[in-house]
């Protein structure tokens, strides 16, 4: 069941077009989502509340390593995709390996682009594209004290 929500880029584009044709607002966000924690869950719930359907762009293992360093991800991309797809408020998951999600954003054409409030609209990749199409760019409040890096550091310190 959850695997059916993990889509190739082409299938994600087709699904977004179908939902849009039905009058639904497509929300897009992206990230690594390595070692899922409360901060991730809260963030994705808030993102989904900004429209009718949430498409999650998930960094591939290779791109996570480029961003976070050679010891990451802790959880491989297949497992991360399955975990994200299992969340009821995530409607589709699609992987991307490019340095930024811009190509994926341009392909999916979301109505709403979402990132955490550690970003500003000016620093969100794809914001100009979404705004230029008449869409919205939103930031949502993050839960203080939750990050995968902090979690890993706490585990390392404990053992």
> What is the pTM for the complete model shown?
0.94
Radius of gyration of the chain (CA): 15
Helix (H) or strand (E) holding 49: none
Dump pLDDT digits (tens) for 122-150. Answer: 999 999 999 999 999 999 999 998 888 88
Residue 56 has pLDDT above 80, yes or no: yes
112 sits in the region (left: phi over 0; alpha: psi -120 to 50; else beta) called beta
2-158 architecture in CATH? 3-Layer(aba) Sandwich (3.40)
User: Any long-range contacts for 11-19 (C-beta under 8 Å, 24+ apart)?
Assistant: 11/94, 12/55, 12/92, 12/94, 12/104, 12/107, 12/108, 13/107, 13/108, 15/55, 15/92, 16/53, 16/55, 16/92, 16/108, 16/109, 16/110, 19/52, 19/53, 19/91
Residue 38 has pLDDT above 80, yes or no: yes
Structure confidence at residue 53 (pLDDT): 98
- What are the tens digits of pLDDT across the range 93-128? 999 999 999 999 999 999 999 999 999 999 999 999
CB 87 within 8 A of CB 1: no
Report how far residue 75's alpha carbon sits from residue 78's, in angstroms, rounded to the nearest whole number.
Answer: 8
């Amino acid at each position: 069941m959850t695997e059916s929500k993990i889509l190739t880029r082409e299938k994600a584009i087709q699904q977004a077009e179908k939902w849009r044709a039905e009058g639904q607002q497509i929300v897009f966000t992206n990230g690594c989502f390595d070692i899922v924690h409360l901060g991730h869950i809260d963030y994705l719930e808030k993102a989904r509340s900004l429209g009718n359907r949430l498409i999650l762009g998930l960094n591939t293992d290779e791109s996570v390593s480029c961003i976070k360093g050679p010891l990451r991800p802790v959880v491989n991309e297949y497992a991360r995709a399955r975990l994200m797809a299992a969340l009821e408020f995530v409607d589709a998951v699609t992987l991307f390996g490019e340095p930024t999600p811009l190509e994926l954003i341009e392909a999916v054409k979301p109505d709403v682009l979402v990132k955490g409030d550690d970003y500003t609209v000016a620093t969100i990749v794809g914001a100009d594209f979404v705004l230029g199409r008449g869409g919205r760019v939103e930031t949502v409040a993050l839960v203080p004290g939750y990050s995968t890096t902090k979690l890993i550091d706490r585990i390392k310190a404990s053992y």
